[in-house]
Amino acid sequence: MNSNIPICDAADPFPRSPAFIMPALACDTHAHVFGPERLYDYTPNRTYTPPDAPVGAYRHLHQQLGICRGVLVQPSVYGTDNQLQLDTLHYLNSQGLEYKGVAVVDADVDEGELDCLQEGGHCGVRMNLLFKGGIAWRDVEALAQRLAARNWHLQFLIDVSEFEELEARIRALPVPVVIDHMGHMDCRKGVSNVGFQALLNLLRDGQAWVKLSGAYRITAEQHPPYADVDPFAQALVEANAERCVWGSDWPHPHFSIPMPNDGDLLDLLARWVPDEARRNRILVDNPAQLYGF
């Protein structure tokens, strides 16, 4: 193992139940599984090394939170090798559970690989646009045309404050677009930031979906409830609650403040969306529409 690659803290192994009543068929739209490394190799050019986060711990999390459905998102440490996710989805769905996946693929991925991923429960592709020098936008456009024929979506890890022509580029894509972690923008930049306002415009017009997740990635605070995130989450919900979904981001890899308990993170949703009917839509109906449950 490369000693220069930081090892992440493990998730809190004792997730507590939320302080509100979860609706039937609630969905966690953003989580990852990791390891063991002896079976699933990490890519050597990764930015972090996670501790093992196996499927049993993932299911325990959902049982404690009252989650019935989930979406696994391919993490960067595996590159375009989606095998662990395929194996995990096969296991979960063989138990009669309802789980989907979002894969990471090369821009020129062949149709046979996409067929395999689709048969294995995947319905979208995640692209990391957070760091400059990554995939070219023309590659995004070309892949989007191919995914449209499958009724898949594109999920973007992106800092909305730093991506040029965000609104115009996303409006031009032929597939649904999902934005990770509320736009992944430092809260200190403010709700009036041009990029965040562009995200709100896309939401209002139904041109994008957003994940109410990763509050600890954008806050300037150390511990929940991360009050500085409230105006951002509330603005997204007010822009279009029918295009918001919730995700735990378990097991919370690669961030710089103390590890939160997942019960505290789920309680943030009740803080941001006190109306039960609207909150239940975000937990149940919206993800059912987006992921095809």
**Maximal CA-CA distance, the chain:** 49
* Spatial distance between the Cα atoms of 34 and 78, rounded to a whole number of angstroms: 9
pLDDT tens digits, one per residue of 162-214: 988 999 999 999 999 999 999 999 999 999 999 999 999 999 999 999 999 99
Supply angle C-alpha 102, 106, 110, rounded to 5.
95
Annotated active-site residue 87? The verdict is no
| Catalytic-role residue among 249, 262, 264, 267 | 249
pLDDT given at position 3: 64
Is there a domain that residue 174 lies in?
yes
Beta bridge partners of 72: 31, 101
Residue-range definition of the domain harbouring residue 126? 27-291
Instruction: Name which of 62, 101, 96 is nearest 83 in CA terms.
Output: 101
Is there a domain that residue 220 lies in?
yes
Is there a domain that residue 161 lies in?
yes
pLDDT tens digits, one per residue of 123-164: 999 998 775 445 678 889 999 999 999 999 999 999 999 988
Supply angle C-alpha 163, 166, 172, rounded to 5.
145
Is there a domain that residue 287 lies in?
yes
* Spatial distance between the Cα atoms of 33 and 169, rounded to a whole number of angstroms: 31
pLDDT tens digits, one per residue of 42-89: 999 899 999 999 999 999 999 999 999 999 999 999 999 999 999 999
pLDDT tens digits, one per residue of 256-266: 999 999 999 99
In this prediction, residues 23-48 reach a mean pLDDT of 96
Residues in the chain: 293
Is there a domain that residue 1 lies in?
no
pLDDT given at position 132: 46
Q: What is the domain count for the chain? A: 1
* Spatial distance between the Cα atoms of 211 and 247, rounded to a whole number of angstroms: 6
**Secondary structure class of 108 (helix, strand, coil):** coil
User: How does the average pLDDT of the chain come out, rounded?
Assistant: 95
Is there a domain that residue 104 lies in?
yes
Is there a domain that residue 2 lies in?
no
Q: What are the b/e assignments for 229-267, b being 16+ CB within 10 Å? A: beebbebbbebbbebbbbbbbbbbbbbeeeebebbbbbb
pLDDT tens digits, one per residue of 83-98: 999 999 999 999 999 9
Looking up residue 183, the CATH number of its domain turns out to be 3.20.20.140
Is there a domain that residue 116 lies in?
yes
